Structure 1
Amino acid sequence: MMPSIRLSAVFVGLFCIVLGATAVHAADAFSVKVEGLQGDLKSNVEAQLASMGIGSITIEGRYRARVRSGVRTGLRALGYYDPQLKFSWGPKPAEGSRNPRELTVVVTPGDPVKVMGAELSLEGDAANDPDFAVLRKNLPKKGSVLNHGEYEDFKKSVQSLATRKGYFQGRFTKNELGVSRERREAYWRLAYDSGPRWHFGPVSFSGGQIDADMLEPLVPFKDGEPYAAPKLAQLNENLADTGWFSSAVVAPDFKQADVENHIVPMSGALTPRKGNIIETGVGYSTDAGPRFTGKWEKPWVNSRGHSLSFASTVSGKEQTMDASYKMPLQKSPLEEFWLAQGGLKHTNLNDTKSMQTSLAATRYWNMEDGWQRSIGLHWLIDNFTQGDTDATTMLVYPTIAFNRTRSRGGSMPMWGDSQRYSLDIARELWGSDINFWAFNAQGAIIRSYAARHRLIGRYAFGWISSSSFDEVPPDMRFFAGGDRSIRGYDYKSLSPRDASGDLRGAKRLLTASLEYQFNVTGSWWGAAFVDTGEAVDRLDSTHFKTGAGLGIRWQSPVGPVKLDIARPIGDPDHKGFAFYIGLGPEL
């Protein structure tokens, strides 16, 4: 029985020790308050104390020693090596209180250590690299306060630049941060041996379904060219932009590297995108009402990278079906391609009823400066009623177009602009029922000020010339009014009218809009706007229609969701308010 009694006594003793420790921890928990510091000094000291886990210490002497160490470490990182610290304890909490006892430390940081010299010597090919010469300019100036974080960041920037530019064997041969506390002086002494700069080797791809000669033009560097990480990143981006692959990763293959000549081949692992992609959607806008969309896409149909898609949109006022076949050109698959298109479009809006069939073949060039240029040939037949006119018109017309969109800032950009220009020419000479030419121009600009203010400007201009205007399809005539035109008026409700008072469509269009947005909170913005313009037959004999209003914008992940209320200004025939709901890009 004696062993059992002794073992029980041991357990009882351990239980009392644990219980006592718990009681001490509850009674003598501490917190610290730092005074005398501001800005980065205070933030760094508090971060250092938080990282040390000193809240678990319950003995006063040990707690104060750890706080002293944490404060000194936090200040030393920012160049203050000799601070003066004064400690004072707050009153002990009342019996049973859960509030910790507070230790206040008043800090006088003293004079900082200053950098009196900083040097980076370079050996290897980087010694003649202009980018490293630029990097040298980031060394601290004589007399600047020592900052250990800046020292470590500078070393990382040297190594990062070396890696980006292909100095894969680079290393620091000297890495010294000397500090004299007595003189309060510090010196950076760095030496970096970059070794030789490596060069791009041949690029190979595996796992892909597209012919190699279609992928080669996507490579933005030549075999033997000095290695540069941005060019490798551009290659990966180019592969992603084709839409042919669900995954495309190209990286240096050091296992196959030519060490003697410092050449590293690039190896690309490709995963084909799914052969069939189906998308459906539901939307709503005031102009079109409820809208249902569906799309079937085959991102690649053969080893030449051709793609096929069918799309359909159904709303109460308009229904469309479109098919397109894209054929990239081998010499520049991303920038140059042919697009064959066919479509059906039914419209029943205001005084317009139309059934349209169209075919088109268009050649596209995507330019390096962001402009897209296209030249195409269109065939169209439209059986329509516009007001009191019934007609069937067939058109054969070439088109030339230029457009560019630029933006920064995601789905609701803080900076951007867009421009679109097109010219259509139809002649009986090449099979059209009528002669006409039409010019269209649209533009938008977004600028931001002081982070919370946005200005958006838009314009649209159009001009049709034809001696047979009544036979021009309604889709090519001009109407104004609606969300992206003149708010306060119904969608496409402004144009000249015929003898029966029905909308006829116009030969000229000119509209402009200015909108101011203010960030209220988070993703919510308020808006105030004014729109003006008109669709007429003669721009020199018109009285512009003007609408103004207020709105709300919500910055959703897929673009701004908008709610506007507007009314016409100075128009005795239109005095009511109009509401607009929409989702979509602003450019």
Structure 2
Amino acid sequence: MHRVAPFKTPAFWPALLFSITLLFLQGCSLLSKQKEEESASTPRPVAGADKEDAGKEKKESHDAFSLEVEAPDRVRDYLIRHLELQRYRQIDDLGAAELSRLMVAAEANARELLGTLGYFTPTITLELKETPDAPAPREVKVTVVPGEPTLVSLVEVNFSGAVAEDAAGEAQRNAVRAGWSLRPSVPFSQEGWDNAKTGGLRTLTAKRYPTASVKSSRADIDADTARAQLRVAYESGPAFRFGQMLVRGSDRYSPVNALRIARLPTGEDYDQQQLLDAQQRLASSGYYDSVFLTLDTEGTDPQAVPVIAQVRDAPLQKVVLGVGFTTDNGARVSLDHTHNQMPLLGWRAVSRLQFDQKTQLVNTQWTDVPGERAWRWFTGAQLKRDTSGDYEVDSARLRGGMSTSTDHIDRSYFLQYDNAQNKGVGAPPSASALTLNWGWTGRYFNNNAQPTSGYGVAVELGAGYTLTGERLPFLRSYGRWLGIFPLEFTADSAARRSRIALRAEAGAVTASERALIPTTLEFLTGGDNTVRGYSYQQIGVTNAIGQTVQGRYLGVGSIEWQRPFVYKGQLTDWESVVFVDAGSVADKARSLRPKVGVGAGARWKSPVGPVQIDLAYGVDVHKLRIHLRLGFNF
């Protein structure tokens, strides 16, 4: 197999090693400083004090009493956490008489706490025992028979203000009543009562009525019958509509650009989610380091209420050095440069220089500010050297067109030039082509960063002509889909439910056999995000001399069972997965033969995004591989 000499960076590795050494020495100095501070803050023994005195002092430090609560688990745990008697345990000189007086107050405190759980007729017994042989000299035992839980027998939810008068408010009134969590026959608790009122208010303020409030609320408890009657009245205030957005705090970038990026629907009914979406679009645009949108509801016309955008400008230029590692390509070093307002054009330019064991690339993407209809012009260029299959490819790509992004959908139209120079014995012929492309991506996940349900779909279509050899037309189509479906029967909480994740990917290049298609437009698969158990782009077409090359047809499928990990009844940030992947590449659709990978792994919800760790077995290659991945992208 012919290999091209690796990309040399004679000055980079010494610099990287020197930087790592400096960081290590700095960490050691900080650690030493921390140890010195801890030593300084630790009391030193007085000169002349012997070990016997120190041991005696430690032995004499103990709790004044121990506390035992005998009750049903839910009641027991709640009392242990919240009984005021707990505060006095560490007073080591607390006498028996003082403790007896505290126990009288403890009974009233326990009744009050049980009332918040909906138990208004409990039987409570408190006992004080001398325990001279135990670590604590006394023991307080609280025995609780909670009695019958109080059930909700009546719920009345009333409204005043514009929501009660407007025909458009009927939908929200119905939504508040339908979403009321403390329904008749449900056990009453103070926490449940508070949550129900807050949930109703949240539903009311989410649309049209941002100044709504709880006008009055009353819970009538009949302890004899263990029944609760609940009444709450909401005052909605006026209905609001979005007015003009006012940008404050920005000196570097045009307020008009902020309005176009935010796309706040001026003149429409207030919607909290639309306000948050506009804030997110501004925050992710790259022009601002911080963004906070608020509705100015004081002293203004409710039908055109201003939206205040308090922003802090991002630097005009930014350079980021990155170091990473993937199981597909090994160690990675990257340098990113961002220019938020290019001279003359005023566009935003994002450029990257990246090196890893298999890929070296430099690219740049220039993007205009969105126009009034949210479409923006863009152009980009890329030079790349990549180990593709069993040979190396030097490729160049130029593209330009228009794109738009809405809340869930991205669309684009662009013209693209591709040139692929293939190197190595048995490599396909070098080729170039020009294509006109359309792309559409829809994301309908409950959380785009760490989804637990929903689906996403992406489609790309391109029509082009080859520019090398005989000029022939061709069509390129590609699609992928991911669906995440909770399994209802696995747990009572949505966060605890197991999930099934289904993934599908397909592609085709339709052309004459004589057409020389750039290999960058054809397909390979295998690796972290495709068929696990195989190395990066290991699955392709086997040529006459046994090498792996790109093919014109692609098919990939995956099924994965995701199960949240619960420890001692508490939901953790970990979950386990088992999966089966299959994929194939061929030059003819009928020749697709799937290669299968099976395995298991774990997911961790880290502060910077989900971390994926998988151990997979490639059935066709009879090898185990570890796959690591950070973050979720679709």
Provide TM-score, normalisation by structure 2: 0.73
Q: Is residue 495–residue 503 contact of structure 1 (8 Å, CA) maintained in 2?
A: yes
TM-superposed CA distance for 1:229, in Å, is: 3.6
The yes-or-no answer on 1:537 pairing with 2:587 is yes
State whether residues 483 and 501 of structure 2, in contact with CA within 8 Å, keep that contact through their aligned partners in structure 1: yes
Q: Structure 2 vs 1, CA of residues 332 and 244 (structure 1 numbering), >3 Å: closer, same or farther?
A: farther
CA distance 1:305–1:268, change in 2 (3 Å): farther
- 1:47 and 1:267, CA in 2 relative to 1: closer, same or farther beyond 3 A? same
Q: Which residue in 2 is equivalent to 1:87?
A: 126
**Alignment-derived partner of residue 474 in structure 1:** 519
Q: What is the rounded CA distance, in whole Å, between the counterparts of 1:527 and 1:54 in structure 2? A: 47
Change (3 A) 1:112 1:489: closer
Matches within 5 A, 1:543-562: 544-555=593-604, 556=606, 557-562=608-613
Q: Distance between the aligned counterparts of 1:140 and 1:323, measured in 2?
A: 56
Aligned to 1:53: 87
The offset of 1:276, in angstroms, is: 1.8
Which stretch shows the higher mean deviation, 75-84 or 141-150? 141-150
Query: Where does residue 555 of structure 2 map in the other structure?
Result: 510
Which position in structure 2 is the counterpart of 1:438? 476
1:102 and 2:152 correspond = no
Of 15, 20, 33, the residue aligned with 2:68 is 33
SS of residue matched to 2:259: helix
CA distance in 2, matches of 1:538, 1:372: 31
**Cα distance in 1 for residues equivalent to 2:616 and 2:447:** 27
1:207 equivalent in structure 2: 249
Could you tell me which amino acid in structure 2 is paired with residue 29 of structure 1?
A: A
Instruction: Look up the SS of the partner of 1:427 in the other structure.
Output: strand
Q: Residue 362 of structure 2 is aligned with which of 321, 325, 339?
A: 321
What letter matches 1:319 in structure 2? Q
Mark the structure with the bigger radius of gyration: 1
119-128 or 152-161, which moves further after superposition? 152-161
Query: Quick one: distance in 2 between partners of 1:158 and 1:518?
Result: 32
Indicate yes or no: 2:378 matched with 1:339: yes
SS at match of 2:611: strand
Note the 1:325-474 alignment, pairs <5 A: 325-333=366-374, 336-367=375-406, 370-385=408-423, 387-388=425-426, 391-408=429-446, 413-427=451-465, 433-449=471-487, 450=490, 451=496, 453-467=498-512, 469=514, 471-474=516-519
Q: Deviations 1:87-120 (Å, cap 9, x if unpaired)?
A: 33323424xx641412223334445666665544
Q: Is the 8 A contact 2:320 2:336 kept in 1?
A: yes
1:486-542 CA-to-partner distances (Å, cap 9, x unmatched) read 455554445445555544532333333344455678556655544434322233246
Change in CA separation of 1:51 and 1:439 when aligned onto 2, cut-off 3 Å: farther
Structure 2: stretches of 5+ with no match in the other structure: 1-59, 491-495
Question: Identity percentage over the alignment?
Answer: 19
Question: Paired residue for 2:628?
Answer: 582
Mapping for residues 131-280 of structure 1, pairs under 5 Å: 131-136=172-177, 138=180, 146-157=188-199, 160=202, 164=206, 165-166=208-209, 168=211, 172=215, 175-179=217-221, 187-208=229-250, 209-217=252-260, 218-223=262-267, 226-253=269-296, 257-258=299-300, 264-280=305-321
Task: String of CA shifts for 1:350-375, please: whole Å, max 9, x gaps.
Answer: 5433322221112223355x232222
Whichever residue aligns with residue 205 of structure 1, its letter is V
Whether the aligned pair in 1 keeps the contact of 2:389 and 2:540 (CA below 8 Å) is no
Q: CA deviation at 1:400?
A: 1.9
Tell me, what secondary structure is at the counterpart of 2:143? strand
Q: Deviations over 1:269-322 (max 9, x none)?
A: 221112222223233334333332221112344799731011122233322111
Residue 441 (structure 1) shift: 2.7
Report Cα offsets for 1:321-344 as digits up to 9, x if no partner. Answer: 1111011332144xx222201111
Closer/same/farther in 2, CA of residues 83 and 539 from structure 1, 3 Å limit: closer
How far apart, CA to CA, are the structure 2 residues paired with 1:145 and 1:530?
44
Q: Is the Cα–Cα contact under 8 Å of residues 41 and 74 in structure 1 kept in the other structure?
A: no
Q: Deviations over 1:165-202 (max 9, x none)?
A: 54648563x55444565676655455555454455443
| 1:14 alignment counterpart | none
Q: Does 1:124 align with 2:161?
A: yes
CA distance in structure 2 between the partners assigned to 1:188 and 1:454 by the alignment: 37
Q: Relative to 1, partners in 2 of residues 1:349 and 1:302: Cα closer, same or farther, differing over 3 Å? A: closer
Call closer, same or farther: CA 1:495–1:469 in 2, change over 3 Å.
farther
- 1:401–1:421: 8 Å Cα contact kept in structure 2? yes
Deviation at 1:377, TM superposition (A): 0.7
Name the SS for the 1:53 alignment partner. Answer: helix
Aligned twin of 1:3: none
Whole-angstrom distance in 2 between the partners of 1:480 and 1:119: 60
1:22-51 CA deviation, whole Å, 9 max, x = no partner?
A: xxx98993344333x325444444444147
2:114 to 41, 65, 75: 75
Distance in 2, matches of 1:538 and 1:221, equals: 49
Query: Are the aligned partners of 1:115 and 1:144 in contact in 2 as well (CA < 8 Å)?
Result: yes
Q: State the distance in 2 between where 1:145 and 1:561 align.
A: 41
Residues 85, 102 of structure 2: 8 Å contact kept: no
Contact 1:396 1:431 (C-alpha < 8 Å) held by counterparts: no
- 1:488-527 correspondence runs (5 A): 488-516=533-561
Pick which of 182-191 and 380-389 moved more: 182-191
RMSD of Structure 2 on Structure 1 (CA)? 4.0
**Count, aligned residues:** 548
Cα distance 1:252–1:433, how it changes in 2: closer, same or farther (>3 A)?
same
**Cα distance change of structure 1 residues 433 and 281 upon mapping to structure 2, 3 Å threshold:** farther
SS at match of 1:250: strand
Q: Which amino acid aligns with 1:378?
A: Q
CA contact (8 A) 1:479 1:493 kept: yes
Matched residue type, 1:89: L
Note closer, same or farther for the CA distance 1:212–1:179 as it changes in structure 2 (3 Å cut): same
- Residue pair 1:214, 1:304 contacting (<8 A) in 2 also: no
Report the residue type matching 2:105 in the other structure: R
1:234–1:305 CA distance, 2 compared to 1 (3 A): farther
* 1:210 and 1:302 in contact (8 A); partners too: no
- C-alpha separation in 1, matches of 2:62 and 2:393: 85
**Contact persistence 1:528–1:550 (CA under 8 A):** yes
Q: Counterpart in 1 of 2:323? A: 282
Amino acid at match of 1:328: V
Sort the Cα spacing of 1:154 and 1:447 in 2 relative to 1 into closer, same or farther, 3 A.
Answer: closer
Measure how far apart 1:222 and its partner are. Answer: 2.7
Mark the runs of 5 or more structure 1 residues left unpaired by the alignment.
Answer: 1-24
CA 1:386/1:196 → structure 2, altered by over 3 Å: closer, same or farther? same
Q: Distance in 1 between matches of 2:505 and 2:264?
A: 38
Call closer, same or farther: CA 1:232–1:402 in 2, change over 3 Å: closer
Asked if the contact 1:322/1:341 (under 8 Å) is kept, the reply is yes
Where 2:110 maps in the other structure, the secondary structure is helix
